[in-house]
Each structure stands twice: as C-alpha cells, then as structure tokens.
Structure 1
C-alpha cells in the first residue's frame, strides 16, 4: 500500500494550531444562560439546597443506581449570545450563581448549552481542579456540546469529602454509564486535582474504556510551590489566601516576583508582608469577593491537604492505568512543574501523549488561545466506539480552525506564489482548480516533493477555491506513539495534518475513504520520495506492482495524476541520508528511529522498499515559485470487472505513473518561460497591482 511519506515540513514550519481568540474586554450584556445547567445528585438534598434551588423545575429520571433528582432552569436563550465564546468574566458570573447558597454533597450537573449533542456522542465527565465549582470548561461548552454529552462535577465550597470518597463517587458514575453503553468510550476531562481523580479512577477500572484529557496534573504536588507554602498560607488573611489559588491566571512581573519570593525561601515575616502587599495589588485585576467565596481560607487549606493525599494516592497506582491519555502541559504554570510532570507521566503511562502550551498558566482551559475541541481532534483522540475509525469518527475542521491553519501556513503561499493548473473534461488546461471534479470519490496520485513541501500551499488552496477537503493517506509515524522508549518523533508536530483529515496508511482506511466518496491524496513514492537523496529531485520511486487501481475501480473513482515542482527553487539539499549516516551518532539515531516505527512495504523490492527515516540537512534559497499541474481525470466508473484482471490494472497503473512524469516534465519546461519565476519580479508586480492580486505566469 502506498503512503504519503513524512511531510515533516508542514508540521515543523507551521506552529501547533491554536485558535486566536480576543479576550472580551468591554462590558458584556448579562447572559440569560448564566444559570443554564441541570443538576443531578445521588444523595438526598439538604433543606438548604432545596430552598436555594426552588426556581428549578424538578423531575425524575430512573437508572439502575436508583432515582436521581434532576433540576433544570427554565430560561430562554438569547440569539445574540448564541455561538459566542464565553470569557473569564462568564466563569466568575456563573460561579457566583452556583455558590450563592451552596450546600450538600458533591453532585453532577449538565450545562443546558450542552444539551444538543448527537445521539451517538460519547459522554464527557469534567472533573474540576482547586476551585471545585465545575465550570472550568465554560469557554468550551458550546463547541464540546456538538460532539459530546457533557456532564460536570460540582464540589460545594464547604464539602469535606475525602479524596477516596470523590474517587468512589466518580467511579460509581463511570461504572453506571459503562453498563448502559459499554461500546462507547467515557471521557474524563480534568485539571490539577481533577487529573489525580481521573487517574485514580482509571487505575481502579482498567477494563473500562476511558479516555483521559488531563491539564496540568497535580501528581507533581510534592515538587510544587503549593507544597512549600502550605504553612505560609495558613498565616495569611482570609481574602488574600483565596487569591493565591488563582495566581497563575495572571502573567507578568508582579506575579513572577510574588512566586519567586516564596520559592527563594525568604524569612517568614518579610515573605508574608511582601506576598500580602503584592497580592493586594493583583486583586484589582480579579473579582476578589467571588474568589473569596469560591475558596475561603479554610477551604483552600483543605484543598491543599486533599492535593497532598491525591498526589500520593495516584502516584502509587500509575502502573495500573491503562487508559488512553492526553496530557496538556502549561509552560508558565506558577503552581505546579507541569511540563516536567507531563514528560514523566508520558514515560510512565503506556498509552500517553503530551501537548505543550508554552505561554499558558495553570488554568489552561481558561486561556483565550486554547480550544479544547481542536486539541482533541488534532491529537486523534475523538472516537465514538471502542476503536478509532479515522473516517467515520472524523470531525471536519470548522471555519475558525481552517482560518487559523491557513494563517499559520500562508507565508509559504506568499513567498512562492503557487501556480495551479488543472485539466477540464475537454482536455483544456486552465489556471486554477476548476477542472477538479467536485463530487467524489476522487483519487489524487502524484509526486512527493522533498519533505512534503508541496502540501503547505496545496491543501488550503483546495479549501479556499473549491471548498474541497483533500484527505491524505499518511505514514504511521504521524499517528502512533511507540509503546517502548526510543527516539521517535513527537507526533504532536503532526496535529495539523490530522486535523485536516489525514489517515494512517492501510487498506482498510483507503477502502473507507473511497466508500465515503472523499477526495483522497496518495503518494506511491512515500517516504523514499519525500526523503530523496541528492540528484533525485522529480524522480518517482513507485512500487513495481500496482497498488491503488483496483480499489479506485471498485468505487468508480476518478484518478487524477499530478506533478508539483519548485523544491529546487526554494531549498538546497546539503546533506542527504547517505551523507548523514557516515556520522556514527546520527547513524545510530536514524537506525533507531526507523526500527521503532511501523515498517511499510516489507514485501516490496528495489528503492521503494528503502524506508529509512532521517531528516536531511537543507538550506533555504531566495524563494522561487511552486507549480502544480493536475492532469485530466481518468475514469474508472464501469471498469470494475475489467480492472480485476491484474494485467489490465497494471497497465492503468503504468499509465498513471507515466502521466505524473509528463506533468512534471511539462512544468519543468514551462517554468523556464515564466517571467515571474523569481521573487523580485513577483514583488514588483504585486507592489504595482496590489499584494492580493494574482501574479501572471507562462502561457499555456
């Protein structure tokens, strides 16, 4: 089976996707959905709780665990607020409503804005951190609701349930849900203290299909600033103490100075005075009264003791965790050493990946630039069944997600001014992609540039011009973390590729894409072509035996051969694989990297069977231009029986290969006549005609 190859450049040159969100600074109109959540509790409510929730409409829902009391707020949604991402202000407003007359035991609630999920959506249980309110995903509820059934845990301010008690409460809900829907995963999204709870539940229930999404786990509590300052916090005024738990929401020199003073171990009295003074200054940025209500002094001290026991309990049971786990680590976490802890947990857990957020603080889910749904999709962590189906479980990128991706990669299009040519049904070559069939299945088969550079402008252009999502068949190294330790690449670098719908190479995935009538991108040359050696540019390394023809014919797919040239105009290959393996350390590194990744084409012969992985050394040039030529579609409709014959299918395979070579030859010849092949003429043209204008090219 063919493969895209490495495509390292797209991942390395484009930053890990994160939505650009502008924090709402102006005063917002009061949101009528502030109290929009349904509450369920497995314990009898106290009189105080009953009084406080008299505005709720009560009804019963039965389960094998017994009847649960459900209270819902009957409110009318505002159209002006629909679809708007909430802000930190919304969190504080909603938290204020929830804790106004808080009481009773820990309980579950479902935000009403999360009530429109699809019937087959998996359950997502949110486990809060230090605050315990359960609204940590406020800024993500609307997007999560489209693909999950969301339910959140609320721990009342005065509750003193032990860590093991909380674990048993969550475990009870998990087991109940699993008994009803055993074929669906249960997501535990948690932060800080909640991450310890999630890991503990996973350790106690290794046979339940759990997916853990953990932000800044508190398993590192023994190494944290909080551990070192517990006794100090006990001496501080009540309101000041409540603010300390929210310090990492803030960034800048005042905050850093506060935390540095504590870490340096200054004498107790000066530290208390300096810490109090700085916190009072910072309090002007925060709704201090709400914070004091959420985490009064006695509650904060209780939570710190809870963290201490949670960390010890969880660390002792990490070996029993078998759940699929994604750990999100903040680089500016002032409370916990989160990045170091993420790496430690990734080594300790067998099915674990990490994602780093260098500029974020402890409360990651409240950062404006973080989008949880995008993170889950990009990491290929979203599935509706026991096993991930890369086709049926795929959630296409939203417009904001695509715009962010395009913004990050647009520089390549700007500097290379790509020329894209396609062929209409009558055989006429046209500029642009109008010759590409809008209806699938369509199979693009072409040449893989060095490092997959051609993908950076090509994939977004299909979306912009034709609204076509091209789904690539890619090397497994972009998807799988190895079970054993080694030197494999960080697959987080390939989140963008997975977000755009790439799937790991396999006959099953190829079949599913064709059956879904997708536009599929296939590079028969794979890794060998993308990591070619000196003097091998524009040379095809295809298997001798045909691979894709009969599958395309089975679904009547149109096969579009294409070529792309321009790699020699933007980069020079200085040291290739053959040069680098002469260096002992690098040779050992490449051998381990190759050995620890999935081996492809074990039955192939010739150069295409040479699947060694190794990053060549390239030097950039003054950018030339990229050229793409998509040939006339080759119809396979009605040829299913004909192409079952190996000889006939091989003839078509050789025809496609020949046409790809002709596309490359055509572009290499024609670009010599392009007056705008070099960067300077293009810049002059755009300076006189506008930088958004399309730069002309050769006649065709």
Structure 2
C-alpha cells in the first residue's frame, strides 16, 4: 500500500473498481449472473458492491467475511499496535497464530504433515518480520476496520444471492458466529461450515469452491435456477471424494445385479439400457441409505447419471437451518437430484435422462419399526403415462440390506410420545409441501422427522435391476386409465419380486458377514470383487 493513501480512500477505490468490472461483465452477458468471491476484507468489498448495485444479478461467495472485525481480537490489537516497537508485535499470540498456523495449513497442502512443523512455523514467523512490517499491518487493520464499518451499515440494502463459507478453525475472525448473523440479516443467504479449516481456506488442500457452490445449489446459467439446464455432472475428483466420505456404506460391499432383455440375471449393470429416456422405479430404503451408493455406484461403473426426483425438503433453504449440518443434502444435489415436480419430470424425460423415482416418498424412507421393505405407493399411476409419452423404458429395482446396517430405536410414533417433540414437529413440517394431498390414510401421512437408529456391524447392500418394461409404441394404449393402472400395478409387483428375490438369495451368500469379506480381501487384495451367491 501507498504510505500516503488513506485506507478509506483505498476501500472506496476498490469498491468502484469492482463496480466497473461487474457492470462490464453484466453487459457482456446480461442474462447470466455475475459471481463475486471475496475473502475477509474482499467479502466486505463484495457486499459493498452489491449494496450499491441492487438491480444487478449478483451471486456473492463470502469466505470468512471481515464484517466481524468489530467482534474480533484484531480490533483491540489494532488500537495499541502502534505503541509496540518492532519486531515485538509479532510476538503477540494472535499474530503468531495467524501468521504461522494459517501459512502452515497452506504448506501442509503441498508437503504433508511432518515432525518439524513447529520449527518451520518459528522460522516462517521470523521471515515474516521482514516482509510484514508494523506499518503495513496497521494500515491493513485500519482498512479492514473501515470496510467492515462501512458495509455493516448497508447490509439492509443487499439483495444479492449470498453464500457464506465459514471456517471452524479461523484464528483471525469469529467466522462461524458471523455466518449465522449474516444469514439472519440477508434475505437470500445460505451458510456452509468447514469445521476443520483455517482462515485461508481457499488455499488449503481438500477444499473445492466449485463443488461447494454446486452443492449449495448456487450455480446457475441464467437469471432463474433451472435444475436440469444448470446441472454439472460430478468430476472424477468429486465422485472419489463422495465415495470416500461414505466409506461405511462402501465397506458393506455392494452387490449389483441387473436383468438382460431375455430375463437372464447377471452380476453388474449390463442389463441397464445405454441410452435414455429411462425411469428407474424402486424401493426407498430407511433414511435413503441406498441413495448415494446407488447413484455413485452406477455413475462410476457406467458413466450414467441418475437424476433423482427428491422431496422439496432437500432444496429448501429454510429447512437447512433446522438441520444439525446445513450441507447435509449437498451430496444429493451434486449427484443430480432435482425437486419432484411434474415439470422437472417432463423436462428430464424430454432430454432423455435416466430418472430415479421413488413413489413411496418420505413415508417409505422414514418408515416405522417393522416396516422395512414395505412399499407405500399411492393408488394412482402417477408416472406411467408420463413415461409412455416419451417412450421411456421403465426399470423396476429392489434393494435390501438396511436391516444389516442398523435397527430403528425410535420411530415417528415413539417421537410423538416424547415431551416437547411436538414443537420440533411443527417447525419441521410448518411449510412443507404436501405431495400426497389427494391421497388418504398412510400414503397421505408423510411428515418429515428425525430417526434414532442403532448402527450394526455392516453387512452388504444388494441391488437388482429388473427386466426393462417398454412403453414405446404404447402411447395411445396407456392414455386409457385402466391400461395405465394395470402397468402401474405390474411395475409395483416387479419391485416387490426384486426385493423378495434378494431377501431369499442373500441367505445363500457366504460373504454376507463382515469377517469372510475381510479374509477374502486379505488374500485377494483390498480392491478385489468379493463373490456372492450363485445366480
């Protein structure tokens, strides 16, 4: 920085520069949003620009925003830093932590964890005495204080779509608390927490800002979100990270079977069509335990993206605030899930996608004790006529294994008996979309609620995709309600048969238990495909 230029003037100049750049980019592509990514003081600049350009389509990505300066230790440090002679200012614990810990976090990305990190941190801090004199630090702190004060008085004017990324191990700013404050003040704001990352998260290994934007549902190509057109398939690194993060379910060693057009059952996915449109219709396991292994497994094996039709709760920014972790459903969105609507179903089929459909919905995925493998389908043939309109193949499938993974301790009926649970129940379902409003009985009753389960020593997940059911050439026939109902019941019966087949055959699997699988991998290698029952 210039010694003669006041920080406030510098801040104003930065905001004006950002404004000019935003207007230029917006004029080049008026139908597309402009993304502003700002870290610390950069987040203040981004917010200031958004407050002064309310009619511009902006998406703000704020990383550990400096708007919390007035709550940080840096504010009190900045008040007396001028009184401390150089180089003693670097002996302050806060500055040493910031200078060494954050820089060492970056170094670990490249060199890994070693035994000389403390010595390296000390050497690094001594080096920084020369490159960061007191005058520079004082000037930057003044700049941060002015920027924070300026933008905090203008937060009410920010209309832009905003995503706040907060590090849990930020030793410089109280970023986690600040993220919650900004979420309560900004009308269109979501938060993502990264509890193991430091202040310089953008430079740390394992963090991908594009993946975070996609998971938060903030990537769009136009002025409105389009779940089909905006979708970017997972990259190989994203897919690997997802598979690694679900290690327990992968350790269950998936058994995937499919059925060829002639009815022969084979191991693997050779029975799946190579081209869409295709509708895969099946049973939704407890807490959707099968969802990530299914979608990620099919994608990694065949390159086919299964686009799941998901409950609106997965996409509601207000429901995120009721969850223990706001990013709980990000993986589903990265893997291609879209809200279940007639329009989205129509558009996916019209573009020849593979659509993953669970007619049982929330009632099936949050079933009660003793209801495993029971279908809760509505009476009406909701998907048959839509599938036939595009000549889509319908593939019934079954999955078993939830009873080898966990047992239900408290279901919805148990929760309702707990004191004060009704308060949480009202919050969870206050504004929920009633997907089965035209149904009666158990099918209509689809409240969103938590589950209390007891994990078990992991068994195996067994999937089988049934014989494809053709609708091409039957469009006129299936417009009649009776014919559509007949096919609907046929698909349901096939799903039940798939489940029955797997439940019976898994009893013949010598590797259903964990110990035989471990012994097999010890002999044949960790990546060896473990056998199963005879087909």
Is TM more than 0.5 here? yes
Q: Is the 8 A contact 2:283 2:398 kept in 1?
A: yes
Instruction: Identify the residue that residue 311 of structure 1 maps to in structure 2.
Output: 148
- Partners of 1:456 and 1:368 in 2: how far apart? 24
Partner in structure 2 of residue 571 of structure 1:
406
Are 2:118 and 1:285 equivalent residues in the alignment?
A: no
Contact 1:591 1:612 in 2 (8 A): no
1:301 to 131, 138, 143: 138
User: SS of the residue aligned with 1:492?
Assistant: coil
Encode CA deviations 1:366-397: one digit per residue, 9 max, x unaligned: 11221111111121111110011111111111
Post-superposition Cα deviations, 1:325-359, rounded to whole Å, max 9, x if no partner, equal: 11011112121111111111111112111111122
- The answer on whether the counterparts of 1:329 and 1:338 sit within 8 Å (CA) in structure 2 is yes
> What secondary structure sits across from 1:662 in the alignment?
helix
Kindly indicate whether residue 245 of structure 2 is the aligned counterpart of residue 408 of structure 1: yes
1:142-185 CA distance string (max 9 Å, x none): xxxxxxxxxxxxxx999873434432332233234334433211
Distance 1:384 1:574, change over 3 A: same
Matching residue of 1:398:
235
C-alpha RMSD over aligned residues? 2.9
Matches within 5 A, 1:106-255: 161-236=9-84, 247-248=97-98, 250-251=100-101
Post-superposition offset of 1:571: 1.2
Q: Does the 8 Å CA contact 1:331/1:359 hold for their aligned counterparts?
A: yes
1:332 is the counterpart of 2:180: no
- Structure 2 unpaired stretches of 5+: 106-117
The answer to whether structure 1 residue 418 and structure 2 residue 266 are counterparts is no
Instruction: Out of 361-370 and 334-343, give the one that drifted further.
Output: 361-370
Secondary structure of 1:207's aligned partner: coil
Deviation at 1:641, TM superposition (A): 2.9
Once the two structures are TM-superposed, the CA of residue 297 in structure 1 deviates from its matched residue by: 3.6
SS at match of 2:101: coil
8 A contact 1:158–1:299 mirrored in 2: no
Are positions 1:360 and 2:360 aligned together? no
SS in 2 for 1:628: strand
Q: 1:262-295: CA deviations, max 9, x gaps? A: xxxxxxxxxxxxxxxxx99846226947x855x5
Trace 1:668-687 onto structure 2 (pairs within 5 A): 668-687=503-522
| Counterpart Cα distance in 1 of 2:168 and 2:141 | 22
Task: Write out per-residue CA displacement over residues 379-423 of structure 1, whole angstroms, 9 at most, x where no aligned residue.
Answer: 111111001111111111111111111122233122x22221110
Matches for 1:555-566 after TM superposition, within 5 Å: 555-566=390-401
Q: 1:286 to 1:648 in 2, by over 3 A?
A: farther
Task: Give the 3 Å change call, closer, same or farther, for CA 538–249 of structure 1 in structure 2.
Answer: farther
Q: Which deviates further from its counterpart, 663-672 or 238-247?
A: 238-247
Closer, same or farther: CA 694–344 of 1 in aligned 2, 3 Å: same
3-state SS of paired residue (1:599): coil
Aligned counterparts of 2:5 and 2:267: Cα–Cα separation in 1:
65
Q: Give the match for residue 184 of structure 2.
A: 347
8 Å Cα contact 1:242-1:292 kept in structure 2: no
Task: Confirm or deny that 1:622 pairs with 2:448.
Answer: no
The answer to whether the Cα contact below 8 Å between 2:233 and 2:335 also exists between their aligned partners in 1 is yes
Q: Is the 8 A contact 1:214 1:325 kept in 2?
A: yes
**Whole-angstrom CA distance in 1 between matches of 2:96 and 2:308:** 43
- Whether the 8 Å CA contact 1:477–1:491 is kept in 2: the answer is no
Bigger drift between 377-386 and 686-695 goes to 686-695
Go from structure 1 to structure 2 and tell me whether the alpha carbon gap of 1:399 and 1:487 turns closer, same or farther (over 3 Å shift): closer
Partner of 1:141: none
| Secondary structure of 1:584 counterpart | coil
Alignment of 1:214-613 (within 5 A): 214-236=62-84, 247-248=97-98, 250-251=100-101, 282=121, 284-285=123-124, 288=127, 296-414=133-251, 416-482=252-318, 487=322, 490-613=325-448
Q: Normalised by the size of structure 1, how large is the TM-score?
A: 0.69
- Deviation of 1:556 (Å): 1.8
Q: Which moved more, 1:485-494 or 1:463-472?
A: 485-494
Residue 636 (structure 1) shift: 1.6
User: CA-to-partner distance for each residue in 1:466-525, whole Å, 9 max, x for gaps?
Assistant: 222222111122222129x97356441111111111112112221222222222211110
More helix per residue: 2
Q: Unpaired segments of 5 or more residues in structure 1? A: 1-101, 105-155, 256-278
Q: Structure 1 residues 604 and 208 mapped into 2: Cα distance closer, same or farther (>3 Å)? A: farther
